[in-house]
């Protein structure tokens, strides 16, 4: 049984020739992020939270907010292949309940609007396209809580 036929040899030679021709055209280029800008989207989960306080002699007066996702955009600039300076803005909202002494008050609901802004410095551990990173930053977070009552008259 003979495996090396003329047709099989021709296919092998043509395949190798095609590989050599395409590899010469597609020369590899080292990736560098230095000097490149980045635009990115973000999703961050805000866990449920309770804000309680004592006011007018009523203990544990406050709101219980549901968990939610906040969404935003960011921009960044790569100073080197490893160092990146970036800024992001995030927005979101959550619904919740008004509580007194950990008891939900029917007909009164709470809502919160979130706004977060921060500036970060990232260190990309590897120089490649996909890399783990270490980040440090400073920012501002604002949460505006409002109450609304329903079913209590006009």
The share of the chain scoring above pLDDT 70, in percent, equals 84
CA angle 118, 128, 32 (to 5 degrees): 85
- Please tell me the number of Cα atoms within 13 Å of 56 on its side-chain side: 3
Lowest mean pLDDT among 5-14, 69-78, 123-132, 141-150: 5-14
Structural domain boundaries of the chain?
33-149
At 34-50, the pLDDT tens digits run 999 999 999 988 887 77
DSSP secondary structure letters along 75-122: EEEESSSSEEEEEEEEEEEEEEEEEETTEEEEEEEEEEEEEEEEEEEE
The pLDDT assigned to 1 comes to 45
**pLDDT surpasses 60 at 2:** no
> Is residue 74's pLDDT more than 50?
yes
Task: For residue range 89-144, list pLDDT tens digits in order.
Answer: 999 999 988 887 778 888 888 888 999 999 999 999 988 888 899 999 999 999 88
Alpha carbon separation from 120 to 60, 73, 75, 135, 136 (Å, rounded): 37, 13, 10, 7, 6
């Amino acid at each position: 049984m003979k495996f090396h036929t003329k047709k099989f040899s021709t296919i092998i030679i043509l395949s190798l020739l095609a590989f050599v021709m395409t590899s010469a055209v597609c020369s590899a280029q080292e990736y560098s992020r230095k000097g490149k800008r980045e635009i990115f989207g973000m999703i961050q989960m805000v866990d449920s939270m309770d804000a309680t306080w004592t006011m007018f002699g009523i203990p544990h007066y406050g709101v219980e907010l549901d968990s939610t996702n906040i969404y935003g955009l960011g921009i960044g600039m790569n100073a080197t292949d490893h160092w990146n300076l970036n800024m992001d803005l995030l927005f979101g909202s959550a619904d919740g309940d008004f509580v007194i002494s950990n008891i939900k008050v029917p007909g009164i609901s709470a809502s919160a609007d979130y706004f977060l802004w921060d500036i970060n410095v990232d260190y990309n551990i590897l120089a490649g396209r996909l890399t783990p990173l270490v980040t440090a930053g400073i920012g501002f977070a604002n949460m505006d809580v409002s109450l609304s009552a329903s079913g209590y008259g006009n």
